[in-house]
Structure 1
Amino acid sequence: MPAVHLKLDTSVELPGEAPLQIGASVWWPEQAAQADTLLLCLPGGNMNRRYFDLRPPSPDDGDDSFSFAAQMTARGFVVAALDHLGLGDSSKPQDGWQLTAEVLVRANVAATAELLARLREGRLSADLPALPALRSVGVGHSMGAMLTILQQHAAAQHAGVVLLGFSTRGLPEYAPPAVRDATDPTAVRPLLPEIARKMFGQPYPVIHGQRNGAGRGDNAELFGSRKADPRGVAALKAATDCVLPIPAAMSMVPGNVAPEAAALAVPVFLGIGERDMVGPTHQVPAAFSGSHDVSLCILPETGHSHFLFPARARLFERLSRWLQSFD
Structure 2
Amino acid sequence: MSAFSISKRLDMHVDVSAVIPLPGPHRVAMTVYLPDVDRLTQPPVAIFASPGGGYTRHYYDMSFAGHAGYSEAEYHCAQGLIFIAYDHLGVGDSSTEHLGAYTVEHLAAANDSAVRQVIELLRSGTLTEGYAALPMLRKVGIGQSMGGCITLIMQGRHATFDAVAALGYSALHTVLPQRNPEDVKRGIDAHNQGREAAPAELSVQQSSLQIVDFVYPFHWEDVPQDILEADMAGGYPIRLTAPAFGSLTVPPCAVAMMSEGFIREEANLITVPVLMAMGERDVSQHPQLEPSAFAQARDVSVFVVPSMAHMHNFASSRLTLWARINRWAMMVITDV
TM-score, L = length of structure 2: 0.82
Structure 1 residue runs of 5 or longer lacking an equivalent are 183-187
Whole-angstrom distance in 2 between the partners of 1:284 and 1:174? 23
Find the counterpart in structure 2 of residue 132 from structure 1. 135
Confirm whether residue 30 of structure 1 aligns to residue 36 of structure 2. yes
AA of the residue aligned to 1:40: F
CA deviations on 1:78-121 (whole Å, 9 max, x unpaired) are 0001111122211121x422111111111111111111011111
Confirm whether residue 239 of structure 1 aligns to residue 245 of structure 2. yes
Find the counterpart in structure 1 of residue 238 from structure 2. none
Relative to structure 1, the CA distance from residue 32 to residue 110 in structure 2 (aligned partners, 3 Å threshold; closer, same or farther) is farther
CA deviations on 1:170-215 (whole Å, 9 max, x unpaired) are 33835575853x7xxxxx4232324304x646xxx9x89xxxx971
Deviation at 1:242, TM superposition (A): 3.2
Structure 2 residue runs of 5 or longer lacking an equivalent are 1-5, 176-183, 232-242
Find the counterpart in structure 1 of residue 223 from structure 2. 228
Whole-angstrom distance in 2 between the partners of 1:259 and 1:313? 33
Find the counterpart in structure 1 of residue 185 from structure 2. 173
Relative to structure 1, the CA distance from residue 235 to residue 122 in structure 2 (aligned partners, 3 Å threshold; closer, same or farther) is farther
Find the counterpart in structure 1 of residue 13 from structure 2. 7
Whole-angstrom distance in 2 between the partners of 1:80 and 1:112? 9
Confirm whether residue 91 of structure 1 aligns to residue 91 of structure 2. no
Confirm whether residue 153 of structure 1 aligns to residue 156 of structure 2. yes
Find the counterpart in structure 1 of residue 48 from structure 2. 40
Deviation at 1:245, TM superposition (A): 4.1
AA of the residue aligned to 1:280: H
Relative to structure 1, the CA distance from residue 214 to residue 133 in structure 2 (aligned partners, 3 Å threshold; closer, same or farther) is farther
Contact 2:40–2:81 under 8 Å retained in 1: no
Confirm whether residue 102 of structure 1 aligns to residue 114 of structure 2. no
Deviation at 1:133, TM superposition (A): 0.7
Find the counterpart in structure 2 of residue 66 from structure 1. 70
CA deviations on 1:226-259 (whole Å, 9 max, x unpaired) are 2224465466542111343433122111111022
AA of the residue aligned to 1:228: V
Relative to structure 1, the CA distance from residue 159 to residue 231 in structure 2 (aligned partners, 3 Å threshold; closer, same or farther) is farther
Relative to structure 1, the CA distance from residue 260 to residue 18 in structure 2 (aligned partners, 3 Å threshold; closer, same or farther) is closer
AA of the residue aligned to 2:279: G
Find the counterpart in structure 2 of residue 185 from structure 1. none
Whole-angstrom distance in 2 between the partners of 1:308 and 1:178? 26
Contact 2:13–2:94 under 8 Å retained in 1: yes
Give the alignment's Cα RMSD to 1 decimal: 2.6
Contact 2:92–2:248 under 8 Å retained in 1: no
Relative to structure 1, the CA distance from residue 19 to residue 12 in structure 2 (aligned partners, 3 Å threshold; closer, same or farther) is farther
Whole-angstrom distance in 1 between the partners of 2:70 and 2:56? 15
Find the counterpart in structure 2 of residue 302 from structure 1. 308
What secondary structure sits across from 2:288 in the alignment?
A: helix
Relative to structure 1, the CA distance from residue 265 to residue 303 in structure 2 (aligned partners, 3 Å threshold; closer, same or farther) is same
Deviation at 1:283, TM superposition (A): 2.1
Give aligned-pair identity as a percent.
Answer: 28
Whole-angstrom distance in 2 between the partners of 1:273 and 1:176? 19
Confirm whether residue 279 of structure 1 aligns to residue 285 of structure 2. yes
